[in-house]
Amino acid sequence: MENKTDESGKKNTFGEAEIGGQAVIEGVMMRSPSCVTVAVRKENGEIIVKKEPYISLTRRYRFLNLPILRGAVVLIETLYIGVKALSFSADVAIQEDEKENDKDSVKSKKDDIFKSLWLIASIVLGVVLALFLFFYLPLMITNLFGVKQSFLFNLLDGVIRISIFLIYLWLITSWKSMRRIFEYHGAEHKSIFTLESGEKLTVENARKYTTHHPRCGTSFLLIVMLVSIAVFIFTGRPHTVQERLTRLLYVPLIAGISYEIIKLAGKKKANWLVKILSKPGLWLQKLTTKEPDDRQLEVALAALKKCLDK
């Protein structure tokens, strides 16, 4: 495993594929094999960094680390950790005085219960909405074209699914209030590039890197869309509502295959074919990442440094 250098010049033992992240509200989440950190900048300029130990289920239970299966597990874990990080950043954003919750322990406990329930509800609602928008809705639209041949039906379904995905991305990126999230997304990528290059984790070093990273979740989602076409071609044309809903059972398989493709691409990233196949995902990141300022890079690096601390 390749060694990396942190800001102090010390070597860390995390491989480049072992560190990932996500933009949150006025901050960045970073995840390593042993922990999750979230760094958020408050209105007064202070950076709050939260660190929690977390070891993936695929590392704790060997059978969950089997090819294909591990991809589905990682997807669920990523959703859980991502929503939890967003919840924390939202709390920081709306709280003017963090100490207020400590004044009433009963109120604090009630708030914790409410937050846990909200977190679970958010994950469930998000998954249901995504499945409807990117899997069931395309089937309904494709059915309107009256295509009878199974291969053509599934191909058209896939094209419509990708079109909905691109329209969705375009809509959220045109939302002005989302721009800062995309800037923090760019800061996350720049900081990880700095780590992977073996340079010291400073704003000056991170500033020069691109905001487009081949292991971005945007690229993963695009691969999911393409893999779904290949998988559904073998399932035939669904005729009833029940048959359409049954397709949702293939989501873990599609996620698992997509994850294995991402892992393989990461190992063979110097291959010319892999570089070509990675281009569409990198192009999409022109929508989902923006150039960050130095203060945003500082937040991303704070999360990354804390994540590397042992």
Residue 129: per-residue pLDDT: 82
Maximum average pLDDT range among 118-122, 169-173, 288-292: 288-292
Residue 114: per-residue pLDDT: 59
Whether the per-residue pLDDT at 149 is higher than 70: the answer is yes
pTM over 0.85: no
**Banded pLDDT at 12 (limits 50, 70, 90):** very low
Maximum average pLDDT range among 5-9, 11-15, 123-127, 154-158: 154-158
Count CB-CB contacts under 10 A for residue 305: 20
**Banded pLDDT at 5 (limits 50, 70, 90):** very low
Residue 173: per-residue pLDDT: 81
Residue-wise pLDDT for 234-260, tens only, equals: 988 998 888 888 888 898 999 999 999
Percent of the chain with pLDDT strictly greater than 90: 51
Rounded Cα–Cα distance for residues 65 and 62 (Å): 5
Rounded Cα–Cα distance for residues 214 and 192 (Å): 11
Residue 68: per-residue pLDDT: 93
Rounded Cα–Cα distance for residues 49 and 51 (Å): 7
What mean pLDDT value characterizes the chain?
84
Nearest 5°: the CA angle 192, 194, 200 is: 125
**Banded pLDDT at 120 (limits 50, 70, 90):** low
Looking up tokens 């979740």 gives: 217
